Structure 1
């Protein structure tokens, strides 16, 4: 019940309009004496409504949507680390190799994201792939940057070999 509230905020990489309603109540799944906040939100660019339940009563509904979206981007990052950069293949059993591997992968993912954002902001549009099953895809992904770099792998290897003074290995 009550009117929809509206605002604009930064969600999933761009400013979006958000409409939401919120209510505090008791949820049977949680302990019956612990109040929870329920938020239903419509986010511009998404077909389905967001339905969130949380115990942080001091947050507004909009703040809960922002936090959910930020958390979801973290999950995307973990997925990218696991699926695209081989994190699941890290078989280290001690702290140091795990930290080194994780740091190297986070730096790599960050560099891929920065490359993606730089190409996108420069207005480049023909370098990334729009799959036939997703023609409305409107922005590149980390996978698109990986494809771009793979296409130029030979050139990159030759450049690095020349730079390092190993021209014989580049041949």
Structure 2
């Protein structure tokens, strides 16, 4: 069995991106040093987290045994993990199916065994992606969110201004 990802005594039980009347909410259920906790937040996820959600669509299509041309109809919103004695046993993808001319339908993909040696398990590449996703989820549980760096904004403004001055033929060094 795969061990799953545990960082600083934290492992993820579920992380899911949900649409509510007030906007998008991230629900993260996790265990920290044996204590179950949860976070419900509307702050944006880091960019890599969003990229992984998009990559998980291919696993979702294979999991549901759908033809690949339906890939655009699948939206992965998160994962639910089943642990036993701090060992990861199963992983279920959570998401939506966008039916034509209808609102998206919530879809719970069936659980697959979290090992690459089982016929109904994930591949090695799937597990690498799911492990990275768990790492990102743990960072979210620890408070890491997408942030705008004021230093980057100031530097971009300075560089843009400096480039304009160069193109005008002036240099105020």
Q: Tell me, yes or no, whether TM beats 0.5.
A: no
What's the TM-score bracket when you normalise by the shorter of the two chains? under 0.3
Higher helix share: 1
Query: How does the TM-score come out when normalised to structure 2?
Result: 0.25
Higher strand share: 2
Larger Rg over CA atoms: 1
Q: Which has the higher contact order (CA 8 A, sep 6+)?
A: 2
